[in-house]
Structure 1
Amino acid sequence: MLGAVTTGHSTRFRTRRHVRVRIARAVLALGAVAAVVAVAVVVVPLLWPPGPRPLFQLPVACGETWRLGTYPGHDDYDVDLFPTEGEAWGRPVLASYAGTVTEAGINGALGGRTPGNPDGPRGRGGGYWVKIDHGGKWETQYLHLLEPPLVRVGQQVAHGDQIGRVGSTGNSGAPHLHYEQRRGWQKVETYFDGSPSGITHDDTEYTVTRTSNNCDPGQP
């Protein structure tokens, strides 16, 4: 009886198949490691505690006095700003602190309220708006701007840089600036020049006046 005959062809085939299996396993392992690293890059910073509060300033021109207020149904920590003198329409809106613009466009729907038609139809949401990331999980938001923001996403701004003008776009009843400060992406009480605003809830109407110290470093 003749014994089984083997050939080099079958041996080479098994060798190539084993090499392909090892390569596939290596690729899968590298992919898994890359996925873990990618998740860590995103998740780990989220677990870090927020940094210290920046020295936020009023988002309006140096030396101007504005009325800060809230009312029932406005939402906790939200602040509406109205000038105590002069017209609100078109007043400069300034960055409260240095940072990177992360939103600059339309929030909701604009509506039709303009200086020429102040009683036009309301829109939805914040209208023209800007959001700035100040690092350390701190953000500020500026809503109801008159026109498209003067900044773009990704732009670096210094404190006091103009980012827009006061308007009444979105769900707004009159020209004003709706403003928020956020820590860890949650709204918190607004501080200006190191002092709390006192606006912490919307249970009752509350107003306070403040004078802006959002000045150029060389100004007194």
Structure 2
Amino acid sequence: MTFRWKPLAIVAAGLVVLGTAAVFLDPVLRPPGPRPAFQLPVACGQTWQLNTYPGHDDYDIDLYPTEGEPWGQPVLASFAGTVVEAGVSGRLGSRTPDNPKGRPGRGGGYWVKIDHGGRWETLYLHLLEAPEVEQGQRVERGQRLGRVGSTGDSSAPHLHYEQVRGGDKVESHFDGVPSGITRDDKEYSVKRVSANC
């Protein structure tokens, strides 16, 4: 009697491939979990203006303080998670507090992306300098990530912020309340007070 190994090897290899695919696809195919209790990514008690404008992209928020100089304001994690990106997106440009009319860059400039679990992420763009956190680092809500700047494709110092669910941008909620920034069909703004304490 002759035993044939080739068909068994093919079946075994197929099972290995399927098992590996399941490990990688399961987190992607699983539905997102409940929304984390996100807070404004700025200091507790401060009032900030949340803006958008035509062509900005739905749900993208630009944050500006209502009082004080925006340059250098602390940018805080809006919820606990793990840093998955921290560095430069695009080209920085040359806009600084000493040279506010400098050459603009491209993309998000200095930025941070945090995975909060349950397929929820947040993005923080146009930071003044290199992020104060690094890829793989665990951060807590309210932990400082960097400072407000104008790196990348930015015309003035501000924080560009996004909440992402399952790979898609969604309306940001802060302290359990919708931000009010949804569509980019017109320029508008709302004011919110931070409870990121």
TM-score band w.r.t. shorter chain: over 0.9
CA RMSD of aligned residues (A): 1.4
Structure-2-length-normalised TM-score: 0.96
Q: Return 5+ residue gaps in structure 2 as ranges.
A: none
Residue in 1 that maps onto 2:115: 133
Once residues 165 and 26 of structure 2 are traced to their aligned partners in structure 1, the CA distance between those partners, rounded to angstroms, is: 17
Higher strand content, 1 or 2 = 2
Q: Return 5+ residue gaps in structure 1 as ranges.
A: 1-14, 216-220
List aligned pairs for 1:110-129, cutoff 5 A: 110-129=92-111
Cα distance, 1:44 vs. partner?
2.3
1:102 is aligned to 2:84:
yes
2:35 to 42, 49, 53: 53
Once residues 43 and 54 of structure 1 are traced to their aligned partners in structure 2, the CA distance between those partners, rounded to angstroms, is: 23
Cα distance, 1:206 vs. partner?
1.0
Residue in 1 that maps onto 2:174: 192
Aligned pairs, number:
197
Higher helix content, 1 or 2 = 1
1:41 to 10, 23, 29: 23
1:152 is aligned to 2:152:
no
After superposition, the C-alpha distances for 1:35-76 in whole angstroms (9 at most, x for unaligned) are 110101111222221111111000001111111111111111
Aligned partner letter, 1:120: G
1:74 to 51, 56, 62: 56
1:163 to 133, 145, 156: 145
Aligned partner letter, 2:66: T
The higher relative CO (CA closer than 8 Å, separation ≥ 6) is in: 2
Whose Rg is larger? 1
1:207 to 178, 183, 189: 189
After superposition, the C-alpha distances for 1:164-188 in whole angstroms (9 at most, x for unaligned) are 1100000000000000001111000
Aligned partner letter, 2:55: G
Residue in 2 that maps onto 1:83: 65
Once residues 105 and 93 of structure 1 are traced to their aligned partners in structure 2, the CA distance between those partners, rounded to angstroms, is: 15
Structure-1-length-normalised TM-score: 0.86
Aligned partner letter, 1:187: K
